Each structure stands twice: as structure tokens, then as C-alpha cells.
Structure 1
Amino acid sequence: MATSAKSTEPLSDDVRLPKEQPPSAFFESQTFRLLSLFIYVGGISGLGMVLAFYYLIFFDSRMPDIHLKFPVSIGGHPVQKVHEYQ
């Protein structure tokens, strides 16, 4: 006897995903959008302030004296004045 290829019985390893819950009304509100915008802008500005304080307090902007030891030359002629390294 021939039987149909499709069966209506669920398989034992049939996995069903839970239904998606709609997002909360708060996450769709104008208040949440403004709050997230202020948090984002505040975070970016705060990181900029931290970087500015680092450069003001800790960063050493002096040029190293390596150019006095090894002057840059083009075609064998020094580009800058050669000082005697002490």
C-alpha cells in the first residue's frame, strides 16, 4: 500500500521558538529617545574632556634630542644646523 509522504505528527525533536514580545512602550517613547541622546552626547563629550585633561597634565610635548645625534640629510647635506651633541 502507498501512503502519503507528509505526516501530520510532530517530530520528537521539534523545537518551537517563543513568540516575540512587543517592545515596551517606554522604549518607543520620546522620553527614551531624548534620554539616550543625552547619554550618548554626554559620553562623547566626557571622553573628549578626559583626553584634553590628559594632554594638559601628563603629555610631554618636548621634542626628543635624537635629531642632535643623527641629523637628517638629503644628498649628504644636512637639512638643519648640526649641533655638537654633549
Structure 2
Amino acid sequence: MEFKKYITEFIGTFFLIFVGTGAIIVNHISNNALRHMAIAFGFVILVLIYACGHISGAHFNPAVTIAFSVVGKFNKGQIVPALLCGG
């Protein structure tokens, strides 16, 4: 079961980086405002939370994982494998 969580976090982090980087490139090419990048990042996080949140908790950002661990909402024994998988 833990392996499924780690794979989900890895895939979610991949999509976050892929879509975010793509938005940055499109913004650079078209010289649009930064709001398009913000919308892209926000939308991909929204979709990933709904799609993967029930499997892994949707900790795609290492800062979220560390913060949850500090306040006691995330098992400290799982923090290193979670960070290695991207979140």
C-alpha cells in the first residue's frame, strides 16, 4: 500500500513540474502576463488533489510534507521516502 502512495506522489509531482514548466515556456514565447502561469499551476494542483488526494494525501510540495510532519499530521517515519518521491 505504501508503494502506491509513493508512485502517486511521484506521478503527481511529475505533472506539476511538466505543466508548470510548459506554462512558463508558453508565457516566455507569447509575452503574456504572469496570471496564465498562476492559473496553470493552480489548476494542475486542483486536478491532482481531486485525482490523487484520496490515495496519498496530495503532498506534491516538500514544504507541505515537512509542515504536516512538524504539526504531527504526517508520520515522521514516512517523511524521507515521501520527499524522495517528490512530495
TM-score (norm 1): 0.25
Higher helix share: 2
State the TM-score, normalizing by the size of structure 2: 0.25
Bigger Rg over Cα: 1
Higher strand share: 1
